[in-house]
Amino acid sequence: MFILSKIFLTLTNPGVLVLLILIVGALLLWIRPRAGKWLLTITILFLMFISILPVGNIMVATLEDRFPVVKSIDTPVDGIIVLGGSVDQYLTQRRQQIVLNNGAERMTSFVALAKEFPEAKLVFTGGSGRLDQTHKEAETVKRFFTLMGIPESRMIYEDQSRNTFENGVFTHRLIKPKPSQRWILITSARHMPRAIGVFRNLDWELLPYPVDYFTKGFKDEGLHFNLINGLKSLHSGTREWLGLFIYRILGRTNEFFPGPHKN
């Protein structure tokens, strides 16, 4: 299932799909010129469409606006969980230096909250989302948190999960939370609905702490002309919306679009 999901995500990447269609269109020009011209024309019009209209940004903004920004947190806080996905494992191994990716705010926010709530338990959940499971993200993260001054005695590492579903299941199994406990969940804002849905399906209600915003918000999206950003946001939005749909179909969540309150 894990390998199939990786193949599926690759094939549903808008950039990959557009490239494949362009290749097919170019080949058709030599075999069936009329069909090739139509296919290339439609593809070019599609690229212009997503370059000008904020389709991807609207998809992402809808996800990011699902949970409000947390400005302050009341005590007590029993624990803080941060999901993996903030480390570029390939570059980290190649350069022998900790390299964070665009999700670095997950890590920095976690460190800030860890210092704000010194009595809270701290959990990092994330093994490796790559097919090669040799290097675990948790190993790199452990070094990072040590450098940030977080005592290793406070940390609990879950290093076997490969996706969001396993993040929830393995962390729940490791922590065995009590209903009365209050836990915070940190992840990217666009990813929060799916993450909360997984934990909620395990009867674990967490306080969402969304970070790593990609858009300005649904109401502020306007016209632009940026093909690279258009493809990037469309990919990000498509990935999360497909993830929500598939997780609901597979029973990994009990609602399609989890929100702030349990339905």
Q: Domain 73-213 belongs to what topology?
A: Rossmann fold (3.40.50)
Low-confidence ranges of the chain (pLDDT < 50): 263
The per-residue pLDDT for 12 is 72
Token couple for 42: 């439609």
The per-residue pLDDT for 227 is 82
Looking at residue 50, its amino acid is I
Q: Is the dihedral of CA 125, 129, 133, 135 positive or negative?
A: negative
Token couple for 233: 């946001």
Token couple for 26: 């170019």
* 3-state secondary structure (DSSP) of residue 79: strand
How far apart CA 142 and CA 98 sit, in angstroms, is: 11
Domain ranges of the chain: 73-213
The answer to whether 24 and 32 have CB atoms below 8 angstroms apart is no
The per-residue pLDDT for 15 is 84
The per-residue pLDDT for 9 is 65
How far apart CA 51 and CA 47 sit, in angstroms, is: 6
The per-residue pLDDT for 263 is 47
The per-residue pLDDT for 5 is 60
* Residue 209, H or E segment: strand 207-211
Comparing CA positions, the residue from 210, 206, 155 lying closest to residue 181 is 206
